[in-house]
């Protein structure tokens, strides 16, 4: 890809991609560009609204309800938080509150019970994974870079999802375990904001990864520490603040056209259900609901 003019390329069976290489002449993110003798790099992907549409936490909450770990009231609160997250993105205060609530809910829950949620949680997440982002991740792997999920979700979820997607690993929030049960306390830094950058630096030190030759992908301003810890930050469907920073610092931007409109429409529908008190819809399994169609076009921007 080095030295090619900006233009269109088409993946087999995929949407047309419009690429705009940066001024340095290197290929777009994930295109397999040679790092020119630099150390081994890696690629780090935020999960919610970057690798997948919506919030993985909601899928975990819904599965937890069905197994009796969460109450209906707690599930409804999770549904509303998911709507706000999809439409507005995360906030520090909101994330701290969710973190405290989740750790408290998990107190004294057997680890085995949570691990058994895996198949149902994955059944909700996998249809929401963006095929465009999978192609980017696999291009990194084909170029010799390991790829990792980095998320504020549970470390167990990050690892299981990484294995299913054939990624090289996952970094998530760890909970303290004693005698096979969660204690309700964290076990290490929370993988949010600076915590993500801290987890990436620790992994890089263990695995001999050159962060200057690495890539990171996120949609949110909250992930600026993660994006700035690598040499190649990429904003994916960025929120307003991340979009501003990306423009000012000349970062690459990956947008899925019409995504915001689809999320807004979907979020409005879910909000109507939640406000209307149709709890049975949230509890019952949605049968025959097709996965969200992938956007028809992707644009690389500077």
Report which of 81, 87, 117, 120 is spatially closest to residue 101, judged by C-alpha positions: 81
What is the spatial distance between Cα 5 and Cα 22, in angstroms, rounded to a whole number? 11
187 tagged catalytic:
no
Catalytic one of 48, 219, 223, 239:
48
pLDDT at 167: 98
CB atoms within 10 A of CB 263: 18
Report which of 150, 231, 237 is spatially closest to residue 192, judged by C-alpha positions: 150
The DSSP output letter for 126 is G
pLDDT at 82: 54
Catalytic one of 23, 34, 46, 210:
46
46 tagged catalytic:
yes
Compute mean pLDDT per 10 residues along the chain, 302 residues long, and list them: 35 34 37 60 96 85 79 66 53 63 77 88 93 96 97 89 96 92 85 92 97 96 96 95 96 73 42 33 35 41 42
pLDDT at 73: 72
Structure tokens at 227: 């994006």
Report which of 297, 29, 52, 3 is spatially closest to residue 139, judged by C-alpha positions: 29
pLDDT at 80: 59
Look at the pTM and tell me if it is higher than 0.95. Answer: no
The DSSP output letter for 222 is G
């Amino acid at each position: 890809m080095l030295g090619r003019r900006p233009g269109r390329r088409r993946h087999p069976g995929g949407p047309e991609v419009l690429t705009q290489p940066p001024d340095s002449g290197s290929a777009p993110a994930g295109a397999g560009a040679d790092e020119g003798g630099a150390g081994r790099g890696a690629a780090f992907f935020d999960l919610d609204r970057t690798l997948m549409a919506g919030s993985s936490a909601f899928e975990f909450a819904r599965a937890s309800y069905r197994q009796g770990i969460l109450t209906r009231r707690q599930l409804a609160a999770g549904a509303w938080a998911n709507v706000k997250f999809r439409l507005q993105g995360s906030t520090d205060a909101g994330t701290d509150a969710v973190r405290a609530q989740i750790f408290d809910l998990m107190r004294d829950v057997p680890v085995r019970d949570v691990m058994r949620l895996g198949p149902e949680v994955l059944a909700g997440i996998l249809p929401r994974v963006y095929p465009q982002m999978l192609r980017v991740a696999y291009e990194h792997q084909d170029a010799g870079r390991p790829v990792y999920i980095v998320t504020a979700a549970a470390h167990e979820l990050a690892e299981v999802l990484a294995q299913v997607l054939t990624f090289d690993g996952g970094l998530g929030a760890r909970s303290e375990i004693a005698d096979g049960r969660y204690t309700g306390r964290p076990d290490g830094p929370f993988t949010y904001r600076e915590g993500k950058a801290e987890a990436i630096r620790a992994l890089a030190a263990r695995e001999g990864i050159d962060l200057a030759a690495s890539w990171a992908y996120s949609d949110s301003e909250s992930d600026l520490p993660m994006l700035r810890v690598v040499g190649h930050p990429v904003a994916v469907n960025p929120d307003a603040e991340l979009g501003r920073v990306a423009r000012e610092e000349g970062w690459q931007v990956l947008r899925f056209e019409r995504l915001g409109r689809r999320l807004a429409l979907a979020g409005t529908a879910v909000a109507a259900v939640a406000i209307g008190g149709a709890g049975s819809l949230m509890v019952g399994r949605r049968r025959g609901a097709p996965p969200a169609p992938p956007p028809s076009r992707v644009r690389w921007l500077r």
